[in-house]
């Protein structure tokens, strides 16, 4: 998890807040200021900020309510290829169905009830994420008449 200071990345979020070009630039400056402040507070380990990253990880959604595993994982190209080969082999053995989607970034949505208290985070890959993987899964199931 890294705070972004990349203007191109922040433009996407700023566009969600306003369609006005100048307001978007002000929003980007605000995001950069907030990220600098967060980096300083986490770096100095002040109060609740010292454990912020650990709390983000521990409050990320991992509970599943059906017989499916859904996961967002950071991996190298080689690791992804290895996983894809394993899953493909298991599919051919009729042990499982799977969907997979690769992306160079992820998105996190936060549902916050208390800033340093009760909250949960939902993580998905960008550019389609779970939806693209689910489409692949459904195509396999349809093709193999599950």
Q: What is the mean pLDDT of the chain?
A: 85
Instruction: Give this prediction's pTM.
Output: 0.57
Long-range CB contacts for residues 25-33, cutoff 8 Å, separation at least 24: 32/5
Q: Over 90: is that where the pLDDT of 119 sits?
A: no
Cα distances (angstroms) measured from residue 37 to each of 27, 31, 33, 80: 15, 10, 6, 35
Question: Residue 119 corresponds to which tokens in the numbers above?
Answer: 């909250």
pLDDT band at 63 (very low <50, low <70, confident <90, very high): low
């Amino acid at each position: 998890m890294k705070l972004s200071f990349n203007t191109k990345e922040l433009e996407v979020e700023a566009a969600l807040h306003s369609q006005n070009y100048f307001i978007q630039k002000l929003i980007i400056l605000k995001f950069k200021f907030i990220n600098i402040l967060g980096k300083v507070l986490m770096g100095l380990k002040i109060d609740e900020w010292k454990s912020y990253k650990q709390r983000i990880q521990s409050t990320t959604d991992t509970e599943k309510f059906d017989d499916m595993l859904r996961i967002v994982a950071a991996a190298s190209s080689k690791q992804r290829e290895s996983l894809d080969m394993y899953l493909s082999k298991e599919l051919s053995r009729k042990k499982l169905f799977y969907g997979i989607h690769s992306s160079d970034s992820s998105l996190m949505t936060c549902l916050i009830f208390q800033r340093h208290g009760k909250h949960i985070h939902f993580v998905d890959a960008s550019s389609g994420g779970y939806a693209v993987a689910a489409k692949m899964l459904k195509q396999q199931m349809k093709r193999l008449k599950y």
